[in-house]
Amino acid sequence: MNTLNRYIILGTAGHIDHGKSSLVKALTGIDPDRLKEEKERGMTIDLGFAYIKYSNDLTIGIVDVPGHERLISNMLAGAGGIDRWWRSTRS
């Protein structure tokens, strides 16, 4: 039996209104948009966090970063510890 836990930090990145936070909530059941202002504006303002725990000792932590260009400093603050990215694209 493997007694080592494995951890991956995944980040979401992309422009506003591409459904990044909705995807995180659908996958984890955790709403990364926790601030009242985020709910009122309908957009991510600060870093959001969630996780998925798998039975094989794998835990994926998710950092949901803001997608608006005016919040680039918050976006970059969350990028430092991310191992993998999911980048939204829209045609």
Structural element, H or E, at residue 61: strand 58-64
Beta bridge partners of 49: 63
Q: Are 75 and 13 in contact (CB under 8 A)?
A: yes
**10-35: per-residue pLDDT in tens?**
888 777 778 889 999 999 999 999 99
The pLDDT value recorded for residue 1 is 46
Q: Find all residues with CB under 8 Å of 8, minimum gap 6, and list them.
A: 58, 59, 60, 61, 83, 84
* 29-80 residue pLDDT tens: 999 999 999 889 888 888 889 999 987 788 999 988 887 767 666 666 666 6
Q: What is the pLDDT of residue 29?
A: 96
Kindly indicate whether the domain formed by 6-87 is annotated with CATH number 3.40.50.300.
Answer: yes
Nearest Cα to Cα of residue 15 among 64, 88, 83, 77:
88
What per-residue confidence (pLDDT) applies to 85?
59
